[in-house]
A and B are shown apart, each in its own frame.
Chain A
Amino acid sequence: MCNECGCNNKVTPFPLLDATLAKYTDATGLITVLQKAQEAYGYLSGELMVYIARKMGLPPAKVYGVATFYAQFRLKPVGKHLILLCQGTACHVNGSEAIEEAICAELGIKEGETTPDGLFTLTSVACLGCCSLSPVMMIGGETFGTLTPDKARAILKNIKTSG
């Protein structure tokens, strides 16, 4: 049972977040707390959001509302390799759509989904800011530029074989 309001919902503790929660106590810190929570736990689960709401004295609906407003927050776990595919203007003009089709065909997933083996998640981003290398994708902090569908497939195959 939840200690604070007496309801029957169990509140799962998330100890990695306690130092952050001690630092940001009022509602103005909510976005920062959510960012730290995602950093620590990979994504924002329902339990995690309820925990944050209780600790910060906010309604869970408010936490959920903020978490779903911003593109950065993920409510589902992500794969081992997060593919950030740039859909900025320069990339669009230079053929990012064909790259997306190639990645989706290669992995058998759609934008925003994770492969069943948990290896890849594909996310579109607005602009990675390396427009002169367009089209571009970023995997694990490494940028791959001047992509062609073949090049994109080869990069993914390469990652697959190395795990």
Chain B
Amino acid sequence: MGCSYRLDTKNVNKEIKDMDNKKLKIIIGKGSCGIAAGANKTEAVLRALLPNVEIALAGCIGRCYLEPIVDVFAYDGKKSEKLTFVKVCEKGAEEIAKFVTGAPNNASAYLISDADKATLESLQCIALKNCGIINPEKIDEYTASDGYKALTSCLKEKTPEEVIAEVKASGLAGRGGAGFPTYFKWDAARKNAGDKKYVICNADEGDPGAFMDRAILEGDPHAVLEGMAIAAYAVGASEGVIYVRAEYPLAIKRLEIAIAQAREKGFLGKNILGTGFSFDIRIKEGAGAFVCGEETALIASLEGERGMPRLKPPFPAQKGFMGKPTNINNVETYANVPFILRSGGEVFAAFGTENSKGTKVFALTGKIKNGGLVEIPMGSTVGEVIYGVGGGIKDDKAFKAVQMGGPSGGCIPASLIDTPIDYKSLAATGAIMGSGGMVVMDETTCMVDMARFFLDFTCKESCGKCTHCRIGTKRMLEILQRITKGEGKEGDIEALEELGKLIKEGALCALGQTAPNPVLTTIKYFRNEYEDHINLKRCTAKSCKPLIAYRIDPEICKNCGLCKRACPFGAISGEIKKQPFTIDPKICDACGKCASVCKFKAVNVGDKWS
């Protein structure tokens, strides 16, 4: 749409100048990432300079590295043209304002590149269908995009059993991490008798490096509400709760608006659409505990307790919130439900592979060029995501590994880059699908340090109920801390492996059972790095500070003294223009400041103990 215009900005100027200003519409991406990148300032400039143009907001379209994103729509009554501008700072907003009013401008500098545009168009979105497209604070835009049609047809034309059969046909599995068949949970909650039943949405997205649920809640909250209402009808629940992280204030605000609007329009509340079915939803803010992503811990937290997991069985479908049958699914799972009921389970199942149906949203971060959210059909390979949508590794360094599934997952090394992303294939590598975090690592990332980082996280987040998890993760962390300091000793790797095995066996919930995964997979694929740290006191990636040293090459040093001025520790000595500078290893903290300021690349990083 409008591609041909982009090469000729003058032409667009004329085109838009000819139009009445009222026919223009500007949409600003205002998800958390867009706002963090400065979307509020961009909006303020546009509003001040273009008081007569309709300026609306949308959620995150997933291309975080391009934020703030501004779409300019121009319609002449028949067709609409869209121009997408990216990285629109305040200056960019001024240029766009000039462009819109027909003044000479430099707006073309902010137009989206052909490559980025092609990537955006290549994504097959189900869960993110409306994100970044519709205004999440207006229910009319959701209904205009087929919203609440699925709920209406379920309530009026389908029995609860038929709804569950459709979900079964779709093959939808839990998107929060475990990948349990959704229909099975619904069916169990339906069949268990109870005077009251609950439907809970798990929005306690806590994996560091994962933010797809936040994007859905911010960009398309009604899809989640509709999915929950359909689930409630299927299982026979009358009350719904969304357990959402307090760290997501914007998501909470948009959910509150969406719930109020849905009640007003009769999609929530008593006697929905005159069918006699009643269901309402409330929001519960989590208080910051990773373990509450585990369903029984989440239920404990909802009941006002410490968020500690409970023994299963009984499963929540039997005895959940307040002891009643409860269905609990993740945000992305619910967001897929309206599509499935609208288009049919087979249409959803046509995406993906034999054992993993549909699409999945991933949060692509780390050492990647184009970080952001990507929704891809199951079965795409790791390499396709990283080098396709992701655009490759930052600064064109070598790809080393990708961490899938956050602290519960494992790493997949470069040698397994052709692994298809489906539940089975990922599990075979030792990683998991998880909630969809993909953290890309390059040659400068130390795998031992990465394992230490994740274990530090799970150790802090362990609720303390099971001894193996509480104390075992602590002991593993201590060993890893020693290794990264160069104090590792023989037998450490074996001790880590044994502790890992014991924790997996001895923990009650998924947090403990999966906590050793990052360590075990890095040992499996990068054992040589562990051995180098322990035996040679050497960090292959030159990242563990106690094991590296900076040295100035006297042959290359031009005696300029820039490094000496930059050194925060006063570790560098020498005389400007007279003699090469040197670093005192006793004072040096290995911060790397000298290397970053040297214009002649005279500062090298090497092994401290060689």
Report if B457 contacts A (CB, 8 A).
yes
In Å, the complex CA distance between A2 and B313 comes to 43
Within B236-293, the residues touching A (CB, 8 Å) are 246-248, 284-290
Chain B contact residue count (CB 8 A cutoff): 53
Report if A131 contacts B (CB, 8 A).
yes
CB pair A28–B441 under 8 Å, yes or no, is no
CB pair B37–A127 under 8 Å, yes or no, is no
CB pair A132–B64 under 8 Å, yes or no, is yes
CB pair B289–A145 under 8 Å, yes or no, is no
Q: Which of B247, B406, B457, B591 contacts A98 (CB 8 A)?
A: B591
Number of A-B contacts defined by CB within 8 Å: 128
Chain A residue nearest to B304 (CB atoms) is A30
CB pair A66–B32 under 8 Å, yes or no, is no
Instruction: List the B side residues contacting A143 at CB < 8 Å.
Output: 35-36
Q: How far is the CB of B213 from chain A (nearest CB, A)?
A: 10
Instruction: List the B side residues contacting A43 at CB < 8 Å.
Output: none
Stretch at the interface among A3-11, A87-95, A154-162: A87-95
Stretch at the interface among B3-11, B91-99, B148-156, B359-367: B359-367
Within B430-470, the residues touching A (CB, 8 Å) are 437, 439, 441, 445, 450, 453-454, 457, 463
Instruction: List the B side residues contacting A73 at CB < 8 Å.
Output: 287
Stretch at the interface among A12-20, A31-39, A75-83, A114-122: A31-39
CB pair B288–A89 under 8 Å, yes or no, is no
Report if A49 contacts B (CB, 8 A).
no
Report if B307 contacts A (CB, 8 A).
yes
Stretch at the interface among B108-116, B204-212, B344-352, B488-496: B204-212
CB pair B445–A133 under 8 Å, yes or no, is no
A89-B453, A133-B33 are contacts. A31–B301 as well, Cβ < 8 Å?
yes
Instruction: List the A side residues contacting B286 at CB < 8 Å.
Output: 70
CB pair A31–B403 under 8 Å, yes or no, is no
A93-B441, A132-B372 are contacts. A127–B208 as well, Cβ < 8 Å?
yes
CB pair B32–A130 under 8 Å, yes or no, is yes
CB pair B302–A69 under 8 Å, yes or no, is no
Instruction: List the A side residues contacting B320 at CB < 8 Å.
Output: none
For B287, B363, B371, the residue with the greatest tally of chain A CB atoms inside 10 Å of its CB is B287
Q: Which of B64, B284, B307, B591 contacts A32 (CB 8 A)?
A: B284
Q: How far is the CB of B590 from chain A (nearest CB, A)?
A: 11
CB pair A70–B307 under 8 Å, yes or no, is yes
Q: Which of B209, B248, B289, B366 contacts A69 (CB 8 A)?
A: B289
In Å, the complex CA distance between A89 and B287 comes to 20
Q: Which of B36, B372, B441, B463 contacts A145 (CB 8 A)?
A: B36
Report if A53 contacts B (CB, 8 A).
no
CB pair A35–B246 under 8 Å, yes or no, is yes
Q: How far is the CB of A157 from chain B (nearest CB, A)?
A: 15
A70-B287, A126-B290, A131-B365 are contacts. A136–B36 as well, Cβ < 8 Å?
yes
Report if B220 contacts A (CB, 8 A).
no
CB pair B209–A127 under 8 Å, yes or no, is yes
CB pair B208–A132 under 8 Å, yes or no, is no
Q: Which of B37, B246, B307, B439 contacts A90 (CB 8 A)?
A: B439
CB pair A133–B365 under 8 Å, yes or no, is no
Instruction: List the B side residues contacting A93 at CB < 8 Å.
Output: 365-367, 439, 441, 445, 450
Within B12-61, the residues touching A (CB, 8 Å) are 32-33, 35-37
Q: How far is the CB of B242 from chain A (nearest CB, A)?
A: 14
Report if A163 contacts B (CB, 8 A).
no
CB pair B288–A70 under 8 Å, yes or no, is yes
CB pair B214–A129 under 8 Å, yes or no, is yes
A87-B208, A89-B453 are contacts. A130–B287 as well, Cβ < 8 Å?
no
CB pair A66–B304 under 8 Å, yes or no, is yes
Q: Which of A31, A65, A129, A136 contacts B287 (CB 8 A)?
A: A31
In Å, the complex CA distance between A93 and B393 comes to 13
Report if A57 contacts B (CB, 8 A).
no
CB pair B372–A90 under 8 Å, yes or no, is no
Instruction: List the A side residues contacting B161 at CB < 8 Å.
Output: none
CB pair B365–A134 under 8 Å, yes or no, is yes
CB pair A89–B365 under 8 Å, yes or no, is yes
Q: Which of A28, A35, A125, A130 contacts B33 (CB 8 A)?
A: A130
Q: How far is the CB of A85 from chain B (nearest CB, A)?
A: 13
Report if A29 contacts B (CB, 8 A).
yes
Report if B141 contacts A (CB, 8 A).
no
Chain B residue nearest to A132 (CB atoms) is B64
Q: How far is the CB of A15 from chain B (nearest CB, A)?
A: 23
Report if B75 contacts A (CB, 8 A).
no
CB pair A89–B439 under 8 Å, yes or no, is yes
Chain A residue nearest to B442 (CB atoms) is A93
Chain B residue nearest to A58 (CB atoms) is B304
In Å, the complex CA distance between A26 and B304 comes to 9
Chain A residue nearest to B33 (CB atoms) is A130
Q: How far is the CB of B445 from chain A (nearest CB, A)?
A: 6
Q: How far is the CB of A86 from chain B (nearest CB, A)?
A: 9
Chain A residue nearest to B305 (CB atoms) is A66
In Å, the complex CA distance between A32 and B285 comes to 8
CB pair A132–B65 under 8 Å, yes or no, is yes
Instruction: List the B side residues contacting A89 at CB < 8 Å.
Output: 208-209, 365-366, 403, 406, 437, 439, 453-454
Bitwise interface map of B from 192 to 219 toward A, beta carbon under 8 Å scored 1, else 0? 0000000000000011111100100000
Residues of B within 8 A of A (CB): 32-33, 35-37, 64-65, 67, 206-211, 214, 246-248, 284-290, 301-307, 322, 363, 365-367, 371-372, 403, 406, 437, 439, 441, 445, 450, 453-454, 457, 463, 568, 591, 593
Question: Can you show 13 pairs from A to B with CB atoms below 8 A apart?
Answer: A31-B285, A66-B305, A72-B287, A89-B208, A89-B209, A89-B454, A90-B365, A93-B441, A128-B247, A130-B37, A143-B36, A145-B36, A145-B37
Which 8 pairs show the lowest CB-CB distances between chains A and B?
Answer: A132-B64, A71-B288, A89-B209, A70-B287, A90-B365, A143-B36, A88-B208, A30-B304
